[in-house]
Every structure is written in structure tokens, then in C-alpha cells.
Amino acid sequence: MTQEPSEWQESGQALHKTYYFKDFLEAIEFMNQTARSIEALHHHPEWTNIYNRVMVRLTTHDAGHTVTPKDWELAQVLDDHYTQHQPM
């Protein structure tokens, strides 16, 4: 059973969330499949993969490393993509 993702937390002038997957391949597929949507926003996450987890940190560098509406928009894109691509 896959663990539910954490909620977005705002701390250290950034949004943070961890997504969980069945295994490494699903985690990497999430990152690859989400890349085009991220690129379309021209706002990129700081993210790390460890086995079945993708840890995401969002902050707007050109706004002084603070959380802006761009970060919340990207957070929604990531959440939507995660929800749409989970196995039934």
C-alpha cells in the first residue's frame, strides 16, 4: 500500500511536501511525466528522489527566496498530476 503524500508545509521561506510511490520506478516516472508541465510554468522545483519518495521544495528565487503565488500554482500542478496518475 502506498503512503499518502504529506500536506504542503510552509517553512524556511519555502513550501515542502513529500510524495510516496510504490517503488523507485513510479517515483521517477512521476518526475519525468511532470517535467513538461513544470517547464510550461517556467518555475522549477527543488526536488530529490530517494527510492519511493519524491521530496519537493518550492521557493521563488527571483523574489528573494520567498513563497509566491508561482509556488502555490506549481504545488497545485504537482498535486493534480500525482492524483491523476495514481493507479486505481
Query: 64-83 b/e with 16+ CB inside 10 Å = b?
Result: eeebeebbeebbebbeebbe
Query: Which strands form 53-58's sheet, in the order they lie side by side?
Result: 9-11, 14-20, 53-58, 46-50
C-alpha–C-alpha distance, residues 81 and 27, integer Å: 12
Domain at 9-84: CATH code: 3.30.1360.20
Amino acid 6: pLDDT: 75
The pLDDT tens digits for 19-47 are 999 999 999 999 999 999 999 999 999 99
Give domain limits for the chain: 9-84
The pLDDT tens digits for 42-76 are 999 999 999 999 999 999 988 888 999 999 999 99
| Contact by Cβ (8 Å): 13, 66 | yes
